[in-house]
Chains A and B, each alone.
Chain A
C-alpha cells in the first residue's frame, strides 16, 4: 500500500466515525498537535471530532536528505475525538486492519507514554503503540492544555505516516517509500529536504529571523488585545517556527533560549484562555440541545 492509499484509507475510516476531515493547516508547525484544529478545539465543553494530515516541520532534524530515518519535514495523521469515545482503542485497531495490519499476525502493544509539552502548557496520559517493536502511533488522553484543565477529555491519535509506511512497504530508507505508484518520497521531498537543511543550518538570515520573531510576537499580542483568537494563534505558530529555525542554527544562547520558550508559552496560554472565553461568549455554539443546557446549569 502506498502512502497515498494509506492516507485515503485513514481518512475514510475516521470519516466513517463522524470525524470532520480537515486539510493541513496552512502555517508551519512542529506537530499536528499545534494545529488550532487540535490545540484550541480540544479546549472547552464543545464536542469535536476531526482528522487531518499534518506536514510537521522540525528544522533541527534536517539531515540534508542523507539520513534514512530523519526528516526536516515528516507527515502525521492526526485524529481528535472529544469527548473520547469508549471504544477508541477498538476504533484505532480497526484502522490498522484497514491498512492491512492484522493484529493477529503481529505483536501490537500499548506501552505507557505520557506526553507533555511545556511550551503549550499541555499534558496528557496514554501510550505509544508498538507494532512488532516499532512505535507507530502516539495515543494521548489530553488532561491539560494551555494551562487549562481539559474537560471533557479529548483523545488524540497521531500516526507517524512515514514510520508506518516503512513497515507496510518494508523499506529501510524513508526516501524509498512509495508515495503513489511510481513516485517515491525521495522524488517529492529529497530536494526540499536538502535545501531546507542547507537553508536552516547555513543560509538563513539570522538577523531577519530575530526581527521576525519580535514582529510576530507583537502582532500576536496586538491581535489578542482585540480578542482575535485565531489570528493571534497563527502568529504564535509563526513565532514557534521562527524560534525552531534559530535554535536549529545554534544562534540562540542558553539564557535567551529559556526566555524565548517562555515567551511562546505565555502567548499560547493566554490564547487558550481567550479561546475558551470567546467560545463561551458565543454560547458554545457546537453544544447541541441538552448538552448546552447541562453546561448552563
Chain B
C-alpha cells in the first residue's frame, strides 16, 4: 500500500516552560489514539517541542483506510416474507435503501430471531478526507492556563502564529483562529528565518539549519555535555538540578552553556541565599569544588550560539551582582535588628483575616506545642527548647532577606538565630518546623522541631476549618492537605503515640477560648477528623495497603500511625491466609450481630442458659488482658493472636445458642456479651469492612 509522511506543526508565541513536557505527551498520546480511531496504519510517530512550536511527524502513514465489508441488519424474517414465502415490501425497501437488490439478501439468527441482512462494501476513506480533522487534536490539548488575544474568541496557551500541515509535499488544509495551514515554518527567533519545509521527513534537519533543536531531549543533552565539558576544563563540580535542567531546556531553542563569575566576597553570604539567587531567580547552575563548597562562578544557558557569548556572560554577571549586592545589604541590615524587635513586628503581620496576626498564631503554637510535649512526656530541657522555638519560629518573616527571598523562611531563621546566640537545637528546630515543605521533603530531625512543626500545622489546619476555610476540589489555598499529611508523616516517622482525635479537640478548644470560630464546634471536629482520615488513607495507600483494609483499620481511633499500618499489613496477610478463615468468620459474625444491641449493658452470668455462653464469657475475660497488652505495646501481631482463643467458643456459641431469644432479658444479655466482644475487636479494626477472599 502507498504510504506518505505527514507533518503538523503549531507555531506559537513563547509557551510557559512548565507546561511543555505535558503538552508534548498529550500531543503524542492523542495522535496515537486518533490514528487508531480513523484506522490509518503508520510506521512511527515522533513529537517535537520548543518554546515556539510543537509538532508531530507521522511516517509511513497509509494513504487510505483498509476497505471493509459490513453486514447491515434489516427487518425480522417474519416481516420480510409474506405468507407465500415471497419478499415483502419491507424487505424490498430495505435492500433498496442499502443500494442492493433482494438477490443480495441473506438470513441470520440474532438472539433466537431470524433477520434479513445484506453485505455492504465500505471503501476506505482517504487521507485527504481524514487528515484535516487533526485540527481537533490541536484544539483538544489541555493547558492549565489559557488566554485570549486580539479579537479572537478562542482560548489557547499562547497566540497561534503559524500552522504547518503537510502530506509529503501537499498542504493539508484547515484553519485555526484565522491562521491557515501552509508549508512555511520559522527558525530561531534571532538566528533563523522563515523557511519552506521541503518534505515532512526533512523537518528536524531543516530546523537545525535554522538554529532550532526541535527535540527537547537533544537540547537537554547539549546542555549536559556543555556542563560536563566545563567541569572537565575548570576542575569544577556542577550538580545538575533536574527540575532546573528541564526548565532551562524548555526556555531555549538552541542552548549554549556559558559561565560567569562574581566577587568572592559574596561567598560569605549563607549558601542558600546564593543558590536561591542563582537557581530560582536567574536559572543558573551553581558551581562547587570537589569538597562541595560553593565557588564564585555560575553556569548559564543562552538561547543561541557561541557568538558574542562574552557579552551575554558579562550581562548576566551584572544582574547577579546587583542581586547579591541587595542580598548582602539585607543580610547586614537584618543583623542590626534583634529577635525581640522582629517579634514585635509580627503583631502587625496578618496570618489570616479571621485567625489574626502571625503573633496571635505564635501564641497558639506555643500552647499547642506545650500540650504535645506533655503528652509525649518529653524532658524538661526539651520542653524549654520547644517553648523557645515556638516563640521565635516566625521572627525571620519580617527580615529583609525573607521579605525578598520568601523561599528562605526558616532557613534564614536558623542562620540568624545561630548568629544571635540561640541554642543550636532551637536554631535547627526553627528551620525544621516548616518541614516537610512538600510530600517528599525531609522531615524534622529533632524532637523539638517535630513538635513545633506539628503544632504549627495543626494550628493552621484546625484554625482554617474552624473559620470555614475548607479545601474543596483543586482549591486548597492554605495547603491544608499538605500540612495534614505532613503532621501524619512526622508522627509516623517519630513513632509517636499521639491520639490525634484528642489533640484536635484540644486545639479547637483553644480557638474557641480565643473567641475565634464561626463554624459549630461539633461540625468542625467531625470535618477535621474526616479530613485527617482521608490523609491517613493516602499514607496507607503509599504503604501498599488495599482500600478495604485501610477502611477497616481507620474505623478505630486515629492514633499512632505506624501501628495502624502494622495492623493493616497484618490484616492484609490474613486476608490471603486460608487458615484465618474460621477466625474471621467468627469475628465478623459477632460484629454483625452486636449492632443489634441497643445499648451497652453489663453482662449478667446468672442469665446464661447454656455452657457455650458461659464458655464464651470466660474466654472473653481471659483474652482481655493479653489483648490490651498487645495494643499498649503497639504490637499488632500480639494483639490479634490474643484474640484467637475466642474463635472456637464463638462458633460453639452460635451453634448452640439462639441469640434473639424471646425472653427480652436473655436476648439482651446475649447481645451484651457479643457487644463487649465486638468492642474489643473494634479496637483492633472493623473486620466487617474487609473483603474476605472466598477460599475453596
| Minimum CB–CB distance for B265 against chain A, Å | 15
Q: Out of A83, A103, A109, which one reaches B151, CB within 8 Å?
A: A83
Q: Mark B421-452 against chain A: 1 for CB-CB distance below 8 A, else 0.
A: 00000000000000000000000000000000
In whole angstroms, how far apart are the Cα atoms of A240 and B570 in the complex? 64
In whole angstroms, how far apart are the Cα atoms of A44 and B331 in the complex? 48
| Minimum CB–CB distance for A151 against chain B, Å | 7
- CB atoms of B150 and A254 under 8 A apart: no
Known contacts: A109-B251, A133-B315. The answer to whether A104 contacts B190 by CB under 8 A is: yes
Which residues of A have CB within 8 Å of B15?
112
- CB atoms of A255 and B16 under 8 A apart: no
A69 is an interface residue with CB less than 8 A from chain B: yes
Q: Out of A105, A109, A112, A155, which one reaches B303, CB within 8 Å?
A: A109
Q: Out of B13, B147, B349, B350, which one reaches A143, CB within 8 Å?
A: B147
Chain B residues 138-176 with CB under 8 Å of chain A are 145, 147-152, 159, 161
Tell me which of B149, B304, B319 has the highest count of chain A C-beta atoms within 10 A of its own C-beta.
B149
In whole angstroms, how far apart are the Cα atoms of A167 and B152 in the complex? 37
Q: In the complex, how many residues of chain B place their beta carbon closer than 8 angstroms to a beta carbon of chain A? A: 46
In whole angstroms, how far apart are the Cα atoms of A72 and B677 in the complex? 75
Chain A residues 72-104 with CB under 8 Å of chain B are 83-86, 89, 93, 103-104
- CB atoms of A68 and B325 under 8 A apart: yes
Q: How large is the interface on A (under 10, 10 to 19, 20 to 34, 35 or more residues)?
A: 35 or more
Known contacts: A132-B312, A134-B319. The answer to whether A254 contacts B17 by CB under 8 A is: no
- CB atoms of A258 and B350 under 8 A apart: yes
Known contacts: A114-B145, A125-B147. The answer to whether A133 contacts B348 by CB under 8 A is: no
Task: Report the nearest A residue to B147, measured CB to CB.
Answer: A125
B126 is an interface residue with CB less than 8 A from chain A: no
Known contacts: A112-B17, A255-B353, A258-B353. The answer to whether A107 contacts B302 by CB under 8 A is: yes
Task: Report the nearest A residue to B51, measured CB to CB.
Answer: A110
Q: Out of A107, A155, A170, which one reaches B312, CB within 8 Å?
A: A107
Q: Mark A162-175 against chain B: 1 for CB-CB distance below 8 A, else 0.
A: 00000100101000
| Minimum CB–CB distance for B285 against chain A, Å | 13
Which residues of A have CB within 8 Å of B251?
109, 111
Which residues of A have CB within 8 Å of B307?
104-105
A17 is an interface residue with CB less than 8 A from chain B: no
Which residues of B have CB within 8 Å of A109?
14, 251-252, 303
B520 is an interface residue with CB less than 8 A from chain A: no
- CB atoms of A112 and B16 under 8 A apart: yes
A275 is an interface residue with CB less than 8 A from chain B: no
- CB atoms of B14 and A84 under 8 A apart: no
Chain B residues 118-140 with CB under 8 Å of chain A are none
A108 is an interface residue with CB less than 8 A from chain B: yes
Known contacts: A107-B302, A132-B311. The answer to whether A127 contacts B322 by CB under 8 A is: no
Which residues of B have CB within 8 Å of A258?
350, 353
Q: Out of B150, B252, B314, which one reaches A85, CB within 8 Å?
A: B150
Q: Mark A235-262 against chain B: 1 for CB-CB distance below 8 A, else 0.
A: 0000000000000001001110110000
Q: Out of A69, A253, A255, which one reaches B322, CB within 8 Å?
A: A69
Chain A residues 119-135 with CB under 8 Å of chain B are 125, 127, 131-134
In whole angstroms, how far apart are the Cα atoms of A170 and B321 in the complex? 13
| Minimum CB–CB distance for A184 against chain B, Å | 18
Which residues of A have CB within 8 Å of B325?
68-69
Known contacts: A68-B325, A69-B322, A133-B319. The answer to whether A84 contacts B304 by CB under 8 A is: no
Which residues of A have CB within 8 Å of B149?
84, 141, 153, 155
In whole angstroms, how far apart are the Cα atoms of A133 and B299 in the complex? 12
A152 is an interface residue with CB less than 8 A from chain B: yes
A180 is an interface residue with CB less than 8 A from chain B: no
| Minimum CB–CB distance for B194 against chain A, Å | 12
Which residues of B have CB within 8 Å of A155?
149
In whole angstroms, how far apart are the Cα atoms of A134 and B159 in the complex? 25
- Chain B residues proximal to chain A, CB less than 8 Å: 13-18, 51, 145, 147-152, 159, 161, 189-191, 251-252, 282, 300, 302-304, 307-308, 311-312, 314-316, 318-322, 325-326, 329, 348-350, 353, 357
Q: List 23 A-B contacts (CB under 8 A).
A: A69-B325, A103-B189, A104-B190, A106-B315, A107-B303, A107-B315, A109-B252, A110-B13, A131-B315, A132-B312, A132-B315, A132-B318, A132-B319, A133-B316, A134-B319, A141-B148, A141-B159, A151-B148, A152-B151, A153-B148, A172-B321, A172-B322, A255-B350
